[in-house]
Each structure stands twice: as structure tokens, then as C-alpha cells.
Structure 1
Amino acid sequence: MKGEIRLQNAQVVRHSTNPKRFSIETNTECLQLKAHSNHEAEQWIQALKSLQQEFYKRLSWSPSIATEQQELPEDSSLLNFLALKLGEISGFHAEMQEAVDLIPEKVRSSIPGLQKVLKISSKIKQVALDSLRVIDEEGKKTFPKIKISLINDSENIEKSSFRYSATDINEYQETDRKILFEEECKEIEEIEFEDARSDISDEVEKISNDRQISIVPHRKSLPFLRNPNQKINIWKVVKDSIGKELSKITVPVYFNEPLSFIQRFTEDLTYSEIIERACIENDPQLRLALVACFAVSVYANGTNRTMKPFNPLLGETYELETKGFRLISEQVSHHPPVSAMHCEHLKYIYWGNTEVKTHFKGTYIQAVPHGIFHLVLKETNDHIVWHKPKTNIYNIIMGKIYIDNSGSIEISNFNNGDRATIEYKKKGWFEKVTHELEGSVFDNFGNEKYKIEGKWNEAVIIRNVLSDKVVFGYEINQFPEGYEQSYYFSDYAMQLNSPPDYFINLPKTDSRYRPDQRALENGNLKLAASEKWRLEEKQRHVRKKREERGIEYKPRWFYYDHDEWLYKGGYWDYKNSGDFSDLPDIF
């Protein structure tokens, strides 16, 4: 049996005893629903509430911004408007009740005024519902409707309304990709860019390449400046993506920042000087504490980086020579998307691979990196390994977007058995403090030697447990002037996509040659969208041909061994040869 209900005039109500159940209610209709699990029920509730909020936001007239001279839109009637506003009252009451439910019972009972407010709010809600009953039938043709299955205790929600299977996603992408691209081009018309007066400073960086030297101008901004307050419709992309792996979802180019993920990957080395300090430290536990600070610092400049890097194409590479190290990264797998990196310095070697699984959780996006990272200090032969924490992006539908890390990580020294733990503190509902962490360093006998504390996006210190002496861990570098208009890039990130013309013997698979992200960096969104479309279609075509011929893809610079991607060697000699005829044409 099918039913339909006008969502914007309804309340989404959790069941009082069964967390799998919830209902969508108006004064005249009620749909009783049951999900497969508690988690799925919560995802549905959050998605429905977000959809209501998005509907309200899209209306061009609202009393909160109206003046006496403003009029209702021509295509609206007074009846429609009243129905909408009365529905909002019910929605606000539900939000208020939900917020109060988060307050402990003992605290609620000690605040008499709170109960009085709730009673008054309930009366207002009832007046709204009585009014809705009168106009409900009259307004049915005015508002969009949501269709959903009515269910018994033994029935489950039909997933087709908000969720797709993996097969459905593939079919949808194959048949409607062109339609999505055309819609994206329409959205692009509203994105604002501004020409940067001068994006190059007088500084240059010399990159030696055996007998040759590349001189790369130091950029102080991107060529075109983006309005950091630009409004974009994220709901259009994520509304059908709850619980899905977002790497499989087509994302419009205006959600991207002009870097590929394998370029963003190299930002791990932004504060590589911490490693150099660890290399000359005699105290093994303090060495480990410094390495722990380095492991934390990889996210230090990312607080406002809410735009998505471009998904690397299979076989795409990126090289970087700076700050005394040289680094090569490669996209070694497309499904699942895996990036590998190898960095060499006179004093250390750093390598790792990561598969970032990104999921939309209804009100926030969670990125979970899977992969191990290694650091070998050559002088002491310390071999230190760790995993990265989860990252959450909150308020993606409404409110101020912010990023926070969560969970704990362990940094272990295989050489002597020392270990460190870092706990990222999760921000509470009513707390203003964010981005805090605390950790400890233990010797191989389990004795605590050092504490690590601070904010990962500001500064971190190391404290000796016995002497209470403080050792500086790191403090974030000053951001470039006006960095907000350059996608909130740090000075380090600003240099990562310098034009390929400045580099000698740059292989044609390097990310700097990507035409879509180069166009985005230059403020040409239409070209960026069309090039992104072309590259993705080209990659699908090549993959299809490869599968038809039964050819197994093998990365050029990395090989798979015991759940890790390791560097084969030979990249820099190959680069110096200047003969790239055997590289695939991926761009």
C-alpha cells in the first residue's frame, strides 16, 4: 500500500521505545515507518529533516527578511504561504523537543522555566496543527509530495526512495552522466571568480635535477581568486548519498579545489622540519614524541579546507622536490581509489599508501583513511609506523561548516618497542573548544615519559612527565595574505600546482598537466567541467578496453606486497632520461 505526504508540513518523530521505528506526521496523516537497523533509521530521520530545511531555504520570500514593501512571489497564494509557515512551526517545535532531550533528566527537572517554555511551545504547535487541518486539503496541489511505503511491524522501508544499490548507481551514472554535466554547467554560471593582481612573488625556488636546475617562482596566491562566501547547493549532490562511499558519486567541479588528491597527499610533509629535529635528538622517547607531533601536523593547515580534491586518474603521478627531500606519488588503484607515496631525504625515508573512504552520514561527511605510514630515521635506525585518524566535516547542509578529527592513533617504534598514543578530543554539543588533543609517550617497559598536548590546528607541545619541562612540538605557519580567496591554501599548498612549464623533464602523467584542475585554478569553470567530463569518460573507455582484453593493470612505480604499496625505485633516473614515450596518455 502506497501513501503520500507533504513533507514540509510534517514532523519527523522518533519512536519512544523502538529506535528502528519513526513516523512522518501531520494532523491529518501519519506514516509509521521501520528501518532495518537503528543506524539506518537515524540516517533517514536526518535526511528528511535536512530536506525540510533545504526546502525552506529555497523559498525566495521569508518573514525573517521581509520588509513592509516586499510582496509575496507572484506564483504563491496566501493559502500556500500560511500552510508553509504553519508547517515550519511544527518543525521548529520538533527541533526544540529534540534539543531538550539531549539535556540530562536531572538538569531538566531543576529548571522550571524550561518546562513552561515547552508547554507554551506545544500550545503554539497545536494551534498550527488545527489551522493546518482546515487548509490541508486545499493546499495539496501546491506543495511537492514525498511518496513512501506504509508498513506493518514485519515490513521494512523501501530503500528506493533515498538509497540506491551499487548496481543502480552504476546504471544511473552511465545513463545520466551527460544530464548531470549539463546541470553542472548551469550551476557554474553563478560561481564568482576574480583575477588576482599578481600571484607571483619575487622569491624563486631552485630545484636541482642532477646537471639541470628548475627555477620555480614562488606563488603568493592562485591566478584567480574565488569568493570564499560563494553559496553552492551541496544538497543537490548529497541528498541521495546517505551511507554511500562518496568516491563513487559524481561531484560537480565547483565542489573541487584545484589540486589532485595525490598532490594533497604530499601536504603531509608541510612540517617536515619536525622530522629533522627528531633525527638529531638523543633521547629515544623524545624522538618518538617529535615524530608523533609530525603525525599530528599533517592536518594542521586543513581546518578550512572543505572543498574536495580531484580524484586522481589511474596512473597519475606527482613529484615534488623541496625542503631537502624529493617525493614521488602515484594513483595505483582506481577501484578502490588508492594513492601511494615515497619520500627520500638525506636523514630519513617516509612512505605510505592510503585509501580514503568517504561517507555521507546525513548531517556530516566522514573521511576514514585506510593505510599504514612509515618513517625511518637513518642515523638511529628507528622505524616508526602509524595510522591516520578519522576526519569529520560537520554542518554541510546548514550552519557554519567546520572540520574536526576524531578517534585515537598509536605511533610505534619497531626498533626499540617505544610507543605513543594520541587521542583527538571530540567536540561536545555545548562545548566551544575544538581541535584539542592529548597524548603520551611510553618506553618499552610501559613507563610514561612524555605528554603531548595542544590544538592540532594551532600549536602542540611536549611535556616531560618527571621534570615538567616543555619542549616545542610545532606551531602552524602563517597563512598567506588573502588565502581565503585561494581555497584557504597554505603557502606550502599554494606551490603544489605551479604550471608544468617551470619544471625540467616532467613526465606527462604528472598532476600539473591535468587540464581540468588547471582550468579551475585559472577560474574557468566551464572548461574545468568539460575537461573533467572528458577525462572521466576517457578513463572509463580505457578501463573497459583493458577488461575486454583481460589485461591486469600494474602501476608503474609501486608494487603490492603484504597489504601495502611499496616503491619500486627508478623514477628519478627515468625522469632524468627525458624519454617518456612509454608512459600512458591519461590526460
Structure 2
Amino acid sequence: MMVMMQVAEQKDTKVVLTKPFSLESGSDSDPSYRAPNLIRRVLALLKNVRPGSDLTKFQLPPVFNIPKSQLQCYGESVYSTRLDLLSRCNSGENPLERFTNVVAWSISTTRPSPFGIAPYNPILGETHHVSKGNLHVLLEQVSHNPPVSALHATDDKENIEMIWCQQPVPRFRGTSVEAQVLGKRQLKLLNHGETYEMNSPNLFIRILPVPGVDWVGNVNIKCLENGLEAKLSYRTSLFGGRGRYIRGQILDSSSTKVIYEVYGHWDSIVQVKDTDNGKEKEIYNAKEVISGLQAPIVKDSKSVWPTESGIVWGELSQAILNKDWEKAREVKQAVEERQRNMSRERDTKGLYTWTPKNFVVSYSKEAGWECSPIHKLVPPAPIIAQ
């Protein structure tokens, strides 16, 4: 699954980067990161957790970790694609074509995830900075409790900007865990003066009766400038089987006229049907977009920030890849203890509010978390996505 990696020396540290989640990542055929007797171990891990509990502060042993941070997973969903769907969004000849392409791109950010293992919880101030072609992507962990991640991406050639603010809230449901992903995603096609706003589906981890991981819930995509809206529903199958359905509509919000019916599977083919003439067309093919993805490479190790995910967690990721679980436990505890020490030091100095380096962050009960990038453009990164 993720046995291929990129390692670059940086003084006494290593940048360890593993393959992104791809179409193959949800397969049960690769046991590389699966603990023995996985179901029993997951149930034992959660036996003292009450149903409905918020798992935000729940710390997993390294044997249950994928060798990458959640911050990297967010970034990968944007820059790790085999096809340039963002260019297609920009090149649409009319608002409906562009909107339909944005819907396809939004679906492409939904990635399969293996059962029973999870990425690391990012530490405060952790960053992830990667470029692919002219697209430059920068993420920062702007809050630790609650965990909030900010993303800013720009493509100066296509004149595209992307801003995300993500807050996962996982809760234990007795036989499942559902992680609600709060926050707003914006995609701006500046050449057309269009801003698309959307949310994320929720990650659903089913323990019983049939273990599996899927995305569920409703996703709304709106463009105020052209008045188009998509209402998508992500559905799963509780007893295994095909699952991973998408159903929905693309409509004109001013007249509520349904233009397209949307249907398919987000890990396979998604199609639309014209409600006027009944014509069908494919808008998304997961195999073409998110299969066979490769780990990013380090182009300039001296320019990688010390806060980069691949450095912060590099030693732990290497231990997990080597299946050296004793070393992994030591390293993970050391990273977490450093974060606690930094928090205590800030409290001692009276610095109770963390100031991110790349974003202005605010919170209100009405709007939730808002993350605004400080700089207009994201600079080219020393790490390159393949």
C-alpha cells in the first residue's frame, strides 16, 4: 500500500514521505500496516470509551498509525491526482460546464482509507508544503485543541486559489466511529470571477457487523456568481457489498430547476443525466484520477522547513515502516511530550493564544473557524508531487 517512500537527509533529520491514499488504499489485500487480530484489538482499544464520546484527544498506539500526518492527507487530496482536474474547471466554456467540472474535482478529494489504522494527529504549528506543476499547496495546523487545519493553494498560471479550514470531530457510536469534518472549502476561478463553496462528507468507520471505512453525509456545492448548486449524498452499505454511492442533483438555485441528476460511485464512475433530454455522460472516473499515485519527492532538502510533516514525524514514520514498534512508541511519546512542553512554556509566558505563521484565524459560534491566508500567493515548494 505505502511501502514506497521518499527520504531526504536534512542535517540530523530525515524527510520521510509515503505514498498518498489512492484507489488501492482501501483494499484489504495489503496487510502492511494491519495489526494482528485487528478487530479484537480495535474493540479492546475502545472498550472504555462511551458511545457518543468525542475522540479528538484519543491517542492511538503507533501500531494503529499510518506513517503520515492528517495534515498530509488533506494536502494529498488536492495535489495527488493523475489528471489535472483543476485546469478542466478553469477551461469550461460556460458556467454549467465549469460547475460540473468543479463537482467532479470535489469528488476527487474523496479518497479511500484502510480500516483500523489512522494518520497522526498534527502538532500545533506543523506545516506541509508541496508543489505540483504550477499548483503550490501550503497547510498549517492552526489549532491543536480543537484540531483545526488550514490550507491555501494557488496556481498563478491558471489563476486559481483554494482556501480550506478543516476541523474533524470523531465520535464513537458503539459499533462505529463517525468523524464529522467541519469547516468550509473555497475554490476560486479568478479568471471567471467565480467562487465555489463546499463542505466535506464525514468519514465513517464501521467496526461491526462488517468492518470497513467509507464516506457518508451530504455535500453542498454553491457558486453565488452563477447561481448553480449541487446537492450530493454520500451513502454506504452497512453490511458490506458495493457501497460508496453518490446520488444528487445539479440545479439552478434561483428557479430550483434540476439540470442534472448525479449518480454513481465515488471510487469508480460518476455520471450525470440531463433532465431535459435524458442524455447521460461521465464526469468522473476514479481509476483515471486517483489510482497508482506515487510519493512526493524532495527537490531541495535544505529549503524544507523544520515544521514540515515529513520531518516532525519522520523518525516515527521510519520506525513504523521498519515495524520497530518499541522505537515507534518512544518516538511518538517524545513528539507528544515536546508539544506539551511547548504549551506549558507558552502558558508560563502568558501566551495563551497561538499565532499561526501563514494564516489569520478566527472563531465564532455562528461561522465556526475561519482561516484567511496571510500571503496572496503560495510560493513554490521544495517538495514535489509526482
Per the normalisation by structure 2, the TM-score is 0.81
Alpha-carbon deviation of 1:554? 0.5
CA, structure 1 residues 463+323, in 2 after alignment: closer, same or farther (shift >3 Å)? farther
Residue 282 in structure 1 maps to residue 80 in structure 2: no
Alignment of 1:86-485 (within 5 A): 199=4, 226=32, 228=34, 230-232=36-38, 233-242=41-50, 243-269=52-78, 270-271=80-81, 273-299=84-110, 301-304=111-114, 306-345=116-155, 346-347=157-158, 348-395=160-207, 400-427=210-237, 432-443=241-252, 444-477=254-287
CA, structure 1 residues 521+561, in 2 after alignment: closer, same or farther (shift >3 Å)? same
Say whether the 8 Å CA contact 2:209–2:238 is kept in structure 1.
no
Residue 566 in structure 1 maps to residue 372 in structure 2: yes
Partner of 1:55: none
Amino acid at match of 1:253: P
Cα deviation code 1:25-46 (max 9, x no counterpart)? xxxxxxxxxxxxxxxxxxxxxx
CA, structure 1 residues 249+217, in 2 after alignment: closer, same or farther (shift >3 Å)? closer
Say whether the 8 Å CA contact 1:507–1:575 is kept in structure 2.
no
CA, structure 1 residues 561+526, in 2 after alignment: closer, same or farther (shift >3 Å)? same
Say whether the 8 Å CA contact 1:454–1:461 is kept in structure 2.
yes
CA, structure 1 residues 409+268, in 2 after alignment: closer, same or farther (shift >3 Å)? same
Per mean C-alpha deviation after superposition, the further-off stretch among 549-558 and 462-471 is: 462-471
Q: What runs of 5+ residues in structure 1 fail to find an aligned partner?
A: 1-192, 202-215, 480-488, 577-587
Say whether the 8 Å CA contact 2:232–2:246 is kept in structure 1.
yes
Partner of 2:339: 539
Q: Secondary structure at the match of 1:247?
A: coil
Q: Secondary structure at the match of 1:268?
A: helix
Alpha-carbon distance between aligned partners in 2 of 1:572 and 1:386, rounded to the nearest angstrom: 21
Alpha-carbon deviation of 1:326? 0.8
Say whether the 8 Å CA contact 1:557–1:567 is kept in structure 2.
yes
Cα deviation code 1:520-543 (max 9, x no counterpart)? 234332222111001101111110
Alpha-carbon distance between aligned partners in 1 of 2:142 and 2:17, rounded to the nearest angstrom: 30
Cα deviation code 1:345-389 (max 9, x no counterpart)? 122111101110011111001010000000011221210001112
Alpha-carbon distance between aligned partners in 1 of 2:198 and 2:116, rounded to the nearest angstrom: 25
Say whether the 8 Å CA contact 1:285–1:450 is kept in structure 2.
no
Amino acid at match of 2:161: I
Partner of 1:484: none
Alpha-carbon distance between aligned partners in 2 of 1:535 and 1:510, rounded to the nearest angstrom: 14
Partner of 2:328: 528
Alpha-carbon distance between aligned partners in 1 of 2:88 and 2:54, rounded to the nearest angstrom: 39
Amino acid at match of 1:236: A
Alignment of 1:31-70 (within 5 A): none
Tell me the matched-pair count: 350
Amino acid at match of 1:234: V
Alpha-carbon distance between aligned partners in 1 of 2:128 and 2:372, rounded to the nearest angstrom: 16
Say whether the 8 Å CA contact 2:115–2:211 is kept in structure 1.
no
Say whether the 8 Å CA contact 1:285–1:441 is kept in structure 2.
no
Say whether the 8 Å CA contact 2:210–2:238 is kept in structure 1.
no
Aligned-residue CA RMSD (Å)? 3.3
Partner of 2:11: none
Cα deviation code 1:500-522 (max 9, x no counterpart)? 58635111110111222232234
Partner of 1:54: none
Residue 554 in structure 1 maps to residue 334 in structure 2: no
Partner of 1:512: 310
Alpha-carbon deviation of 1:442? 1.1
Alpha-carbon distance between aligned partners in 1 of 2:127 and 2:49, rounded to the nearest angstrom: 29
Alpha-carbon distance between aligned partners in 2 of 1:410 and 1:219, rounded to the nearest angstrom: 30
Alpha-carbon distance between aligned partners in 2 of 1:450 and 1:553, rounded to the nearest angstrom: 45
Alpha-carbon deviation of 1:399? 5.3
Q: What runs of 5+ residues in structure 2 fail to find an aligned partner?
A: 7-15, 364-368
Higher helix share: 1
Alpha-carbon distance between aligned partners in 1 of 2:193 and 2:152, rounded to the nearest angstrom: 18
Alpha-carbon deviation of 1:557? 0.8
Amino acid at match of 1:237: L
Say whether the 8 Å CA contact 2:131–2:381 is kept in structure 1.
no
Alpha-carbon deviation of 1:277? 1.2
CA, structure 1 residues 256+380, in 2 after alignment: closer, same or farther (shift >3 Å)? same
Q: Secondary structure at the match of 1:287?
A: helix
Per mean C-alpha deviation after superposition, the further-off stretch among 398-407 and 453-462 is: 398-407
Q: Secondary structure at the match of 1:477?
A: helix
Alpha-carbon distance between aligned partners in 2 of 1:302 and 1:466, rounded to the nearest angstrom: 34
Alpha-carbon distance between aligned partners in 2 of 1:420 and 1:407, rounded to the nearest angstrom: 14
Higher strand share: 2
Alpha-carbon deviation of 1:306? 4.4
Alpha-carbon deviation of 1:428? 5.7
Alpha-carbon distance between aligned partners in 1 of 2:19 and 2:170, rounded to the nearest angstrom: 31
Alpha-carbon distance between aligned partners in 2 of 1:575 and 1:303, rounded to the nearest angstrom: 26
CA, structure 1 residues 322+566, in 2 after alignment: closer, same or farther (shift >3 Å)? same
Residue 495 in structure 1 maps to residue 295 in structure 2: yes
Say whether the 8 Å CA contact 2:85–2:105 is kept in structure 1.
yes
Alpha-carbon distance between aligned partners in 2 of 1:377 and 1:570, rounded to the nearest angstrom: 14
Per the normalisation by structure 1, the TM-score is 0.54
Cα deviation code 1:425-460 (max 9, x no counterpart)? 34366x844111111111232221112110011121
Q: Which has the higher contact order (CA 8 A, sep 6+)?
A: 2
